[in-house]
Amino acid sequence: MKPAKPQSTTMDEQTFVPPTMRALYFSPASTAVTDHTSMDEPRTDSHVKFDTDFQTPIPSGNDYLVKVQAAAFSHDELRLSNILNPSKSIPQIPLHSFCGTVISTPEKDHWNPDGPKFKVDDAVFGLIKHTRDGAAADYVIVSEDELAYKPKNISAAEAATIPMPALTAWEALFKYAGLDTADVKQGRQQLRVLITNARNNEIATQALQLLRSHKLFPHSRPWICATCDAEDQEDYLRKEYDVDATIYAPLPLPHDYDLGSIFRKNRWDPVDVVLDCAGQEMFEQAHSPKVIKEHGAVLTAVDSTPAEARDPLDDDEPRKDGVLSRFILVSPNGEALSRISELVEADEVRGRVESIKDLVDGTDVLSSGAAGAGGGRRGGMMVIRVN
């Protein structure tokens, strides 16, 4: 559906938007007993449905309406969103990493005197807050800080796979680990990083690409050690991402596995940052003083334990041993995503499409039990093709 007047900035003049749309959504679980519910009736869990007559969202005066081309998800995203975001009492549309076309813009934009940043018919990609409906539908409402221009050199499907994992990796390095982009570019920081489960996790893959970006690290090449759960992956990591060292770490870890002993045996100095994409025992072993420097950062993208055990808003201080131990709570960041888009167009960052399914087949993909079951041990992003 082409917009009627691309030069316009008021929704009613821009395009005709149908009142209903196709959408995948998770039905709410039966958690409450009502007058119509028998105490003997079993509790039903939330399950995914496909609807061809779902109400099209109506944007507020500060939001954009985007026609979705593709939306993507990883196993971990679904698993962690279920743990960290309580289910709503209304249907919830999943898949928060997406690519699409702007259909309508904010009617009023007090921040930009020349009108909204994104115009009708602009190709965009982005990450939507997980407390809002996602993009497994024909249309989605987004705010400006959730968007960036889609890179011109990749498909919509590949673009949809990038926002969530790339922003998670970006925030791990430049927010949680506290790297200063100016210091990094001028070579004032000699960075040492350990990335676990580096071959099979998309956040790890994006982190490897960022760390090997000449635009981000033009004068100081970070030292990277990567763990992998199959010995034949070591050559791949060295050739594809030029990692400096690899460690074989089968998952789940054997009971006698000792990451600290491996560092000591190889006479490696402790690292500044650990980006954990394996979780559980690997995340715990990464806190060894043989692995992480004093005042370093051990960050996990897959193990929700730190987030569940502590209030994330009050846990910004390092632990008593000087090590910051955190779960990465990724959030939309339009400015960072714009930087990532530039790296994509410079061929320094790419997405990874594991599979592509049409929206109508999405119930099979999301209901199969495979989505989320593998956790961080399975790689790639699965794409739902919408329009």
Residues 11-162+350-385: name the CATH superfamily: Medium-chain alcohol dehydrogenases, catalytic domain (3.90.180.10)
State pLDDT tens for residues 82-118: 777 666 556 689 999 999 999 999 876 655 667 899 9
- In the chain, where are the structural domains located? 11-162+350-385, 165-327
pLDDT tens track for 39-81: 555 445 567 899 999 999 999 888 999 999 999 998 788 778 7
Q: What is the DSSP letter of 174?
A: I
Are the C-beta atoms of residues 211 and 220 closer than 8 Å to each other?
Answer: no
- 180 pLDDT band, cuts 50/70/90, is confident
Residue carrying structure tokens 């399914």: 357
Q: Name the packing angle between helices 202-211 and 163-171 (round to 10°).
A: 60
Q: In the chain, which residue ranges form alpha helices assigned H by DSSP?
A: 11-14, 75-84, 156-160, 163-171, 181-185, 202-211, 233-241, 259-265, 281-285, 305-309, 334-345, 362-367
Conformation bin of residue 295: beta by default, left when phi > 0, alpha when psi is -120 to 50: left
Q: Could you confirm whether domain 165-327 is CATH 3.40.50.1370? A: no
